[in-house]
Amino acid sequence: MSNIKMMFAILILSSICACSVFEPFIDRRRNAGETDVSKLYRGKSTPDNPAVCSNSLWTDEVQIKALADAECAKHHEGTHAVLTHKTFMTCKLFLPTHTYFKCEK
């Protein structure tokens, strides 16, 4: 591989990594200014059903569950997150796993 091709590949990979998030997060997006609660959230996560984007190479199940538990407690005091299912390649490039929970007492 020539030096120019190698430099170009490194530049592309660095750019992708620089714009990426590696920490798990709650996949919640909102429609700004919406007053109807049924139309307020448009991401995979809702106050009753948090969805966490993560990568199993960097984040263990305990961290994901703790993030979902905190989200449940924030919206409904005295509740905790119960795992319902997972999907793969449905979130971001470096955080490909969606882990879905349901808030229960």
Q: Which of 60, 47, 59, 69 is nearest to 21 (CA)?
A: 59
Reported as a single tens digit per residue, the pLDDT across 71-80 is: 999 888 899 9
**Inter-CA distances, 23 with 1, 33, 36, Å:** 33, 28, 31
1 pLDDT exceeds 70?
A: no
pTM above 0.75, yes or no: no
With CA atoms as reference, report the closest residue to 52 among 9, 91, 84, 99. Answer: 99
User: How crowded is residue 41: how many other Cβ atoms within 10 Å of its Cβ?
Assistant: 16
Q: Is the pLDDT of residue 20 over 80?
A: no
> What are the E-state strand segments in 14-59?
25-26, 51-54
